[in-house]
Amino acid sequence: MIGLLQRVRCASVAIAGRTVDAIGPGLLVLVGVQRGDGETQAQRLLERLLGYRVFPDDQGRMNLSLRDTGGGLLLVPQFTLAADTDTGSRASFTTAAEPALAKSLFEALVAQAQTAWPGTGSGVFGADMQVSLVNDGPVTFWLEVGPRP
């Protein structure tokens, strides 16, 4: 499972011109589900998102996590993160999870996150979304949680 996290001052998701969710300072995370992902990867990704140190401390070092700052968490499904772009001029999606499984795992991740972190919002799987954000820094990290052997 892939999480492209961005430290933001604010972020929102709109569908058909209507805002469906928004956060203030915190993390916007674009989520991609790959073949072989399951509930274990969703749980591990959430643990990493809540504990990943991307916010500045008093000395300006990235030593604080979402848990430390109390910021918002906005999860947005983005299947294109699982694309294979190694060859050619068009992405292949053979590494992406089948849509029904990806939707189920994304929704499970959102449910787990809303229980663990009440400031969690989300986009809608399969919808044509417009995502707006003010990236803070900019700070962007690629987190990938794969199946454990």
Nearest CA among 141, 135, 145 for reference residue 5: 141
Is residue 69 part of the annotated active site? The answer reads no
> Whole-angstrom Cα distance, residue 69 to residue 90?
40
Tokens representing 41 are 């990867």
Using DSSP's 3-state secondary structure scheme, residue 65 falls into coil
For residue 111, give every residue at least 6 positions away whose Cβ sits within 8 Å of its Cβ, in sequence order, or none: none
Choose the catalytic residue: 34, 41, 78, 120: 78
Backbone φ and ψ for 66, nearest 5 degrees, come out as: -60, -40
Is 93 catalytic? The answer is: no
Q: Which of 40, 80, 85, 130 is catalytic?
A: 80
79 is catalytic: yes
DSSP 8-state symbol, 60: S
The torsion angles phi and psi of 60, rounded to 5 degrees, stand at: 85, 5
- Of the residues 6, 34, 41, 79, only one is catalytic, namely 79
The residues annotated with a catalytic role in the active site are: 78-80
